[in-house]
Amino acid sequence: MKKLQVLAVGVLVLLTMATVFGAGANESKPKELIVSTWGLSEDALWAEVYEPFEKQYNVKIVLDTGNAQERYTKLKSDPNTKVDVIELSQKNTADGVADGLFSPLTAKELKEYATLIPGAKALVDSGSGAPYTVNSIGIIYNPKTAGMTIDSWDDLWNPALKGKISIPAITTTFGPAFLVMCSDVKGVDFTSDKGEAAFKALEELKPNVLRTYARSSDVASLFSNGEISVAIIGDFGIPVVSKADPDAIYVVPESGTYANFNVINIAKRTENRDLAVAYINYRQNAETSLRTAKALNEAPVNAKVKLTAELAENKTVGDVAARAKMVDFTVVNPLMPAWVDRFNRLMNK
């Protein structure tokens, strides 16, 4: 009987030790943070941004990649989504706020709020989430194959560029901005006619447009294959296009450009809100912002970040930032269903 009691006590001790050590192992196991993002320059971002965060917070980052519209639609339509944070353009961010997809984020939760540039602060104050980079739209072209110098938006309508241009699809980050720019070329405020002048300009531009595109990699392929000489792109796409065509140069016309803030929001259904807030603060701090600027061709929103002349090249800073306007997506987004239908019918017929 005593032997049985001793054996029972021994088994109990072993079970207790297993439970304790098992619990300890579980506590040290990294949590997963699922980040919905574009997937641009992934290798550089892993080295400069994601891996340092993983080490600092004992977390495993899992990326869910795709273009902004695809990922937004996925978040909206999937009731079982596991996404914790989502990085979107301003247009999709405005949609998400209107659709109630995000967990509200306040300025008090952002450690770097006081150091953000004014436009970024305005977005935080409006309840739109946490901006972390800013970019803008311009023209990239090969002077040799284009056969002309391009330094203004009006130049795109030159008949010499027939079949040589690619423009962003209406549902891309800068699709709406380019349409607004078409209205500007006509000298019309798009809010006064809901885009009628813009579509007239686009119809006149169509002979020069070989193809619309959804991703910067599509533009790179078109340049690499010699199919186009000109494209309208966000400055974040410059590296991939320049690699495909080293003779391509980027121009932001003196008349101005349109800027876009990339914004991080916390998915409403996340079970990792505290970690998500930590990730946002990490992305906005000066050190990470500088590393992000090196990994991506995007400008920081943290005013403490000082870029070298080389690093500032072709980013939305300095004179370019001063010439940048903002698209009012509270006006644009209600028009988008009609614009998407009209754009597709015009450009695909």
Render the burial of 83-110: b for 16+ CB within 10 Å, e for the rest. bbbbbbbbbbbbbbbeeebbbebeeeeb
- Structure token pair of residue 172: 């891309």
- The single-letter code of the amino acid at 30 is P
Given this model, what pLDDT does residue 67 score? 87
- Other C-beta atoms closer than 10 Å to the C-beta of 192 total 10
Residues 22 and 336: their CA atoms lie apart, in Å, by 53
Compute the radius of gyration of the chain from its Cα atoms: 24
HSE (side-chain half, CA atoms, 13 Å) at 258 = 22
Write the burial class of residue 44 (CB in 10 Å: 0-12 exposed, 13-18 middle, 19+ buried). Answer: middle
- Express each pLDDT in 133-144 by its tens digit: 999 999 999 999
Given this model, what pLDDT does residue 277 score? 98
- Structure token pair of residue 275: 């970690």
Given this model, what pLDDT does residue 28 score? 66
Given this model, what pLDDT does residue 15 score? 44
For the chain, domains (ranges, CATH) are 28-134+260-315 (3.40.190.10), 135-258+328-348 (3.40.190.10)
Confidence (pTM)? 0.86
Given this model, what pLDDT does residue 30 score? 86
- Other C-beta atoms closer than 10 Å to the C-beta of 299 total 28
Name residues of the chain where pLDDT drops below 50: 1-26
Given this model, what pLDDT does residue 9 score? 43
Cβ neighbors of 321 (< 8 A, separation 6 or more) are 134, 136, 259, 299
